[in-house]
Structure 1
Amino acid sequence: MKIVAVTACPTGIAHTYMAADALIKTAPKYNVHIKVETQGAMGVENQLTPHDIAQADKVLIVSDIEVEHAARFEAMHTIRLPIEDVLLNVDKVFLVHCRE
Structure 2
Amino acid sequence: MAAKSPELRILAAVRAIPRGQVAGYGEVAERAGLPGRARLAARVLSQNSDPKLPWYRVLRSDGRIAFPEGSAGFREQSQRLRAEGVMVVNGRVKRAKPERNLDEAIWGPGQD
Do Structure 1 and Structure 2 share a fold, with TM-score over 0.5?
no
Higher strand share: 1
Which structure would you say has the larger Rg? 2
Q: Which has the higher contact order (CA 8 A, sep 6+)?
A: 1
